[in-house]
Amino acid sequence: MINEKQLRERLISLADEKYRDFNGNIVHTCKLQYIGVRTPQLKRIAKELAPEYAELFELPANSYEEVVLKGLAIGMAKAPLLEKLTYIRRYADIADNWAECDLFCSALKIKESEREQLSNFIDSIIFSPKEYVSRIGIVLLFSNFKTEQDARRAFAIYEKITPGRYYVDMAIAWGISVYCVYFPTLTAEYLETGTLCMDIKKKAAQKIRDSRRISQEVKERVTRGVN
């Protein structure tokens, strides 16, 4: 059984003061305190606690690390997606920074048979007025759906999301750059002809230029397409 006091003491024992200050500057929208535990250590703890992810979720969270542990444990838990969806939705509601969103999304793995369930869930949150709920929907979409049809669907969804929320806009730009790795011509055409706001297009173009998996030719085309 998970013990709140023991868990917190364990996290404090792993604290790194310099990393705490560094991470606090990077993940600066979190309203909770930072203990200073590095991500690989959090992942190891989450893997241990994943079988008890539901019990872990109900424990109080007084730090960034405790919230991250909840998300990682949900993602790593070897439970059916349908069973975890309630907790995923609740986690999305408590996440208040990009790292809590993205670490959870990277931990969640689904079976082929669960694709439709996840797709329907994404549809239910991606247009949320809550910035980080919407970001989780966007990141889950491009992380788990990577066929050409998926890319076209994602681009159509991006067109419908109201721009102007920084961490949503950046997630869309990130998604476009990921699809560009797999479908460079389609993505370049989308940036040239799509009605997405120019600010997001430019953010996407920068991410594409920074990628080592995209050819120089495509990078130059994308740059021309947003200027």
Per the prediction, the chain carries an average pLDDT of 96
**How large is the average pLDDT for residues 94-122?**
97
Residue 117 confidence class, pLDDT cut points 50, 70, 90: very high
Which of these three, 65, 89, 109, is where a domain ends?
A: 109
Q: State whether 134 and 77 are in the same domain.
A: no
Query: CA quadruple 106, 109, 113, 118: dihedral positive or negative?
Result: negative
Tokens of 181: 């790795």
Q: Which amino acid type is present at position 160?
A: K
Token pair listed for 146: 């990577």
Q: Do 20 and 60 belong to one domain?
A: yes
Q: Name the domain boundary from 60, 88, 109.
A: 109
The band of 82, judged by pLDDT with boundaries at 50, 70 and 90, is very high
- Asked if residue 1 has pLDDT above 80, the reply is no
* Four-residue CA torsion sign, 7, 88, 147, 210: negative
- CB burial string 173-184: b at 16+ within 10 A, e below: bbbbbbbbeebb
126 and 101 assigned to the same domain: no
Mean pLDDT computed over 194-221: 96
Please tell me whether residues 136 and 190 are part of one structural domain.
Answer: yes
- Does 75 lie in the same domain as 49? yes
Q: Match 């606690």 to its residue by tokens.
A: 49
pTM: 0.96
Q: Are 161 and 57 in a shared domain?
A: no
With cut-offs at 50, 70 and 90, classify the pLDDT of residue 195.
Answer: very high
pLDDT tens-digit series, residues 2-27: 889 999 999 999 999 999 999 999 99
Residues 45, 137 within the same domain = no
- Token digits of residue 88: 């995923």
Residue ranges in 28-183 assigned as alpha helix (H)? 39-49, 53-58, 64-76, 81-94, 98-107, 115-125, 131-144, 148-160, 166-182
Tell me if 165 sits within 8 A of 202, measured CB to CB. Answer: no
Count of residues in the chain: 227
Dist CA 61 CA 22 (whole Å): 21
pLDDT on residue 88: 98
Average pLDDT over residues 126-153: 98
Taking the C-alpha atoms of residue 131 and residue 24, their distance in angstroms, rounded to an integer, is: 19
Range of the domain at 147: 112-227
Q: How far is CA 56 from the centre of its chain?
A: 21
The pLDDT tens digits of the residues spanning 161-172 come to: 999 999 999 999
Domain check: are 93 and 116 in the same one?
Answer: no
